Amino acid sequence: MEYPQLKQMYELEESYWWFVARRKLVRDLVARHSAGADIKILDAGAGTGGTMQALADLGEVWGCDLSPQALAFCRQRGLDRLVQCSVEELEFADSTFDAVTSCDVIEHVEHDQQALGEIYRVLRPGGVAVITVPALRFLWSSHDEVLHHLRRYDRRPLSRMLRLAGFEELKLTYVVSFLMPLMVIHRLFMKIIRRGPPQIGITLMPGCINRLFLAAQQLESFFLHTIGLPWGASLVAVVRKPKPDQ
């Protein structure tokens, strides 16, 4: 991700519905599925640090990112447990963390299976990872091009990749489902009228609409704790590294 997109994320991460909803969902899933309190957490691909801040009340949070500009934004948030490295080669010892989060990261790297293997490696046995990725190949748009995505994912192939990495799957579901029809219409419209260079798909909107979209995501999250959703613009996986006796 380049500096203009990082700057936009930094400026909008506290208010824009997409970032707020995803951050809360990831934090809730880590809290729900992790064992014990005061755990050690890694945010692999920390971006501008919003997820690290959201996880802070759960324990000791570390972040890593390949981009020095991203890490500089993290430091502006007062975060200091930071390491510059790629999710494909995490510079942490084996079995270091009780939980790992990686939000919309592995679609950026060439070797996504290797990245999942690294997340598995740095987790302690019994540790939990929460991973989000953009979903459904037919949703590919200029947004993906601007953010340098290499792919979008479907549920079954991602499930196979997680199992191949060694994980036990606790939950794998589509998210951003309630608002997906609007997203499909918007992306089709943007493809029809597209002129000039690719544009990022973050659309600033009036506060009332932003709050309405956030409420829709919060309602969706309520259902996610009991059921999976059959489609959506993103996928979220909750997986565990099995203990040796398992």
Return the structure tokens found at 198.
């690719």
**What does the H/E/C string look like for 30-88?**
HHHHCCCCCEEEEEECCCCCHHHHHHHHHEEEEEEECCHHHHHHHHHCCCCCEEECCCC
Question: How much is the pTM?
Answer: 0.91
CB 191 within 8 A of CB 144: no
Instruction: Tell me the domain boundaries of the chain.
Output: 3-240
Q: What is the pLDDT of residue 224?
A: 82
Write down the mean pLDDT value for the chain: 90
pLDDT tens, 137-193? Answer: 988 888 788 889 999 999 999 999 999 999 999 999 999 988 877 777 766 666 666
Q: What is the pLDDT of residue 189?
A: 63
- Residues 16, 132, 172, 128, CA torsion sign: negative
Residue 231 has pLDDT above 70, yes or no: yes
Question: What does the DSSP 8-state code read for residue 119?
Answer: H
pLDDT tens, 40-71? Answer: 999 999 999 999 999 999 999 999 999 999 99
| Helices marked H in 78-179 | 112-122, 142-146, 155-165
What kind of architecture, by CATH, is found in domain 3-240? 3-Layer(aba) Sandwich (3.40)
| 8 band by pLDDT with thresholds 50, 70 and 90 | confident
pLDDT tens, 112-127? Answer: 999 999 999 999 999 9
Q: What is the pLDDT of residue 90?
A: 98
pLDDT tens, 79-114? Answer: 999 999 999 999 999 999 999 999 999 999 999 999
Q: What is the pLDDT of residue 113?
A: 98
Distance CA 200, CA 136 (A): 18
| 21 band by pLDDT with thresholds 50, 70 and 90 | very high
